Amino acid sequence: GTLGVAVVGTGRMGADHVRRIDRVIPGARVAAVADVDAGRAAAVAAGVDGCSVHTDPAAAMAAPGVDAVVVASPGPAHEAALLTALEYGLPVLCEKPLTPDAAAALRVVRAEERLGRRLVQVGFMRRYDAEYLGLKALLDEGGLGRPLMLHHRHRNAASPPGFTDAMLVEDSVVHEVDVTRWLLGQEVAAVTVLRPRASGNAPEGLADPQFVVFETDGGALADVEVYLNCRFGYQVQAEAVCESGTARIGDAHGMLLNTAGRWGGRVAAGFEERFEDAYDRQVRAWVDATRRGEVTGPSCWDGYAAAAVCEAGVRAQVGGGRVEVALADRPALYA
Ligand code: ISE
C-alpha cells in the first residue's frame, strides 16, 4: 500500500520534502508532520489530506498511518529523533548531517547494530545527482587511471543567519566529505583548514571563504573551496584529476544563451533548484526501497564516517594544522 511518512522538522528542507512526497513521489503520502513551531507545522500540513500536526517528533512517529520517517530538523536534533525511530522500528530518511558530532553518530550506529538491521538512510543527495553519478561511473570504469586529486568548489549565495565556522564544516563541507569517500571508495584520514582574509560579504562570526584539504587513506588529496556568501548564486563543482585525464562536473546546467554581446547561462539560486532532480530521485529510491522492505543508499556508517571527518575539520579550524581522523572499526552490518 501507500507509504505513510512522518516528516520531522518543517523548515526549508522539511517543507520541500512535504511538497515532494505530497505531489511528486508516487506511492507515498505525508501522514504527519512535527515542528517545534506549531504554526509553521500547521501551515506546511494545510492542504495535505489527512496529515496530523505535532510539536513532538515521537508523537508524529506514533500517529496513525505512519510507516516511515523523514528527519529534516536541525542537525543537533537528529540523534533523539533517530533513536526514537529505531525504537519504533521505523525506516528513516535522515537529512544530512546524520548528527553534527561523531560521538552522537556512533551512538546511532550502535543502536542500529543492536537492532541487527539497517533502517536509516542519510540524505547525501549528491549521490543521486546525474552529473555526480556520471563522474562516479567514469572513475569506476577506470579508463582515466587512478584518481590523484579532487578539486571541489561549494558556493552559496548567502549563509543562513547564525551560521558558524563549525556549521560551515558540519552542514556544508559534509557534502564534500561524503562525495570524496563515495567517489574514491576511500576514507578521509586527515584534514587541514586554511582561511584567506575573509570576504567583505562574510557575516559577523563566520570566516568565509575557507579552504579545506582532505588526505585519504588511499593516498589521494581533495581540496574544497567553500564560499557561502558569494552573492552570485548556488554553485557546486567537482573535478577529478586522474593519471591519464581529468573530468569536471557542475560547470553549466541547461541552456547556453547568446545575447547583448555576451554568452552564458544561469547560476541556480539555491540547493532546491540545483539538486531538484537529485532530491526527487533520492526520495523516490527511498520510498521504493522502503515499500519493498529494503534499505539502500548512504548508511548510518556513512553518516558516522562523515561526522568523524567533520569533527577533525572543526578541530583543525580551532587549533590549526593537520588533524587526523579517528574512526571506529566498521561493524559487519555495514560491510
Ligand atoms: C545546506 O544545509 C545544504 O545542505 C546545502 O546543500 C549546502 O550547500 C549549504 O551550504 C548547507 O547550509
Mean pLDDT across the chain = 97
Distance (angstroms) between ligand 1 centre and the Cα of 127 equals: 15
CA of 187 to the centre of ligand 1 (A): 22
Span from the CA of 233 to the centroid of ligand 1 (angstroms): 13
pLDDT higher than 80, residue 253 = no
Angle at 93 between CA 92 and CA 94, to 5 degrees: 100
Q: Which atom of ligand 1 is nearest to the CA of 228?
A: 10
| From the candidate CATH numbers 3.90.1660.10, 3.30.360.10, 1.10.540.10, 1.20.1250.20, the one assigned to the domain spanning 129-275+306-324 | 3.30.360.10
Please tell me the pTM assigned to this model.
Answer: 0.97
At residue 242 the predicted structure's pLDDT band, cuts being 50, 70 and 90, is very high
Residue limits of CATH 3.40.50.720 in the chain: 3-126+277-297
pLDDT above 70 as % of the chain: 100
Question: What per-residue confidence (pLDDT) applies to 254?
Answer: 82
CA–CA distance from 174 to each of 75, 103, 126, 214, 239 (Å)? Answer: 12, 16, 11, 12, 17
Instruction: Answer yes or no: is the C-beta of 279 below 6 A from any ligand 1 atom.
Output: no
pLDDT of amino acid 64: 97
R_g of the chain, CA atoms, integer Å: 20
Residue nearest to atom 11 of ligand 1 (CA): 172
Mean pLDDT within 258-273: 95
Q: How far is the CA of 147 from the centre of ligand 1 (A)?
A: 26
The mean per-residue pLDDT over the stretch 224-228 comes to 99
- State which ligand 1 atom lies nearest to the alpha carbon of 234: 8
Q: Is the beta carbon of 171 within 6 A of some atom in ligand 1?
A: yes
DSSP 6-52: EEE--SHHHHHHHHHHHHT-TTEEEEEEE-SSHHHHHHHHTTSTT-E
67-74 average pLDDT score:
98
**Could you tell me the distance, in angstroms and rounded to a whole number, from the CA of residue 209 to the centre of ligand 1?**
14
| Ligand 1 neighbourhood includes 52 CB (under 6 angstroms) | no
pLDDT in tens, 104-163: 999 999 999 999 999 999 999 999 999 999 999 999 999 999 999 999 999 999 999 999
Write down the pLDDT at residue 252: 80
Q: Which amino acid is at 228?
A: L
Residue limits of CATH 3.30.360.10 in the chain: 129-275+306-324
22 in contact with ligand 1, CB cutoff 6 A? no
- Omega before 26 within 30 of 0, i.e. cis: no
pLDDT at 175: 99
Pick the residue whose CA is nearest to atom 8 on ligand 1: 172
Fold topology of 3-126+277-297: Rossmann fold (3.40.50)
Task: Kindly report the protein residue whose alpha carbon is nearest to atom 2 of ligand 1.
Answer: 171
* Alpha carbon of 316 to ligand 1 centroid (Å): 21
Is 276 exposed, middle or buried, given 0-12, 13-18 or 19+ CB atoms closer than 10 A?
Answer: middle
Predicted confidence (pLDDT) per residue in 170-212, tens digit: 999 999 999 999 999 999 999 999 999 999 999 999 999 999 9
Which amino acid is it at 7? Answer: V
Does residue 271 line the site of ligand 1, with CB under 6 A?
A: yes
Residue 102: predicted pLDDT: 98
12, three cell numbers? 526549508
What is the number of the ligand 1 atom nearest to the C-alpha of 275?
A: 6
pLDDT of residue 206: 98
Residue 267 has pLDDT above 80, yes or no: yes
